[in-house]
Amino acid sequence: MGIRIRGTGMHVPEHVVDNHRLSLVMDTSDEWVQQRTGIVTRRFGAAGEATSDVAVPAARQALAEAGVAPTDVGYVVFATMTPDYYFPGAGAILSNKLGLGHAPCLDIRQQCAGFLFGLQVSNALLQSEVAPNVLLVGAEVHAGFMPWEWDIVLGESDRQVTPERYAWNTRFRDRCVLFGDGAGAVVLTPGDEPDRGLLDVFLHTDGTLWDKMWTPAAGSAYRPYVAHEMIESGDIVPIVEGREVFRTAVTYMPEAVQEILRRNGLALDDVRLLVMHQANLRINEAVQKRLGLPDDRVYNNIQKYGNTTAATIPMAFHEARRARDLKEGDLVCFVALGSGLSWGAALYRM
């Protein structure tokens, strides 16, 4: 049976932060950020607005479109790298806020590739008839690891930061300009047409590259698990080896697209739309060029939202369904690369 996406939803926090606001707290500019990333604005949650809070409206929208009541959700798969707490996972907290009853909740930690891993897990759950439907969520609130003066960034104050703080913030500009907060959700159910729905998910992980994207703070590798020195040193901010990640992404992502098409007897000409993880517009442009796809067969929204990690693909797909007027029978390819290092692709026929 073909697993179908019956409903989609997305949500972003209300605070819009443009590149100019970031230039007030670090050595950057709108030109610098756009040239390197393509990002113009991003959204950030308010103080106390956690990942599960951002996920709630997206999940409700997807459930409403699918015609599934919260009490009828069979399983929750929640992908995030920024859970509300160390434990429990964000899935259980989302379940409580949505009133899902006793539906089992599974949290997965594949970061930028999390939604693709969630698709594969959801497919297995549905194919094995463990649940009648799955609520798959990708959501992030990255604001917590940003080393900023939030009153300035959110436009609540135009005070000047001290030279020391300005220099401190600038240490992290290559990463901190990338991220935004948001959530995307889909409801998956079994379908009765084997040639439609989720056709395939093909994934890889190369653990030898685990330290190309990681956060060197908090965890069982340390005694104690977390210490104030980790904050003072800036180790809570993720490390992204930009050049290595760029080179790997523009190699592995096109290969993943071609690989999954070959194993399903399909070609690039069959793909109506490519939806990539929104990590950096320059990466996506390079992938598009390698594949030789025209603009109308690729969808990007990183310009508005930044990198929302596990939420990028469901958010982009939610918008692309309408913006690109996707119709029944159209073939959509999802592709992503994230920390771990994990990457892969999925094929979905509308």
Q: Write b or e for each residue in 135-171: b if 16 or more Cβ atoms lie within 10 A of its Cβ, otherwise e.
A: bbbbbbbbbebbbbbbebbbeeeeeebeeebeebbee
Q: Count Cβ atoms below 10 Å from residue 259 Cβ, excluding itself.
A: 15
Distance CA 66, CA 59 (A): 11
Distance CA 199, CA 306 (A): 29
| Chain mean position to CA 246 | 17
Distance CA 93, CA 95 (A): 5
Catalytic sites, residue numbers? 112, 277, 307
The residues with which 198 forms a beta bridge, in sequence order, are 3, 348
| Chain mean position to CA 46 | 19
Q: Name the nearest CA neighbour of 178 among 6, 38, 342, 299.
A: 38
| Both tokens assigned to 135 | 């609520």
DSSP per-residue codes, 68-85: --GGG---EEEE-SS-SS
* Helix boundaries (H) for the chain: 19-23, 30-37, 51-66, 90-98, 114-127, 150-153, 163-170, 173-176, 228-233, 242-262, 281-291, 302-305, 312-323
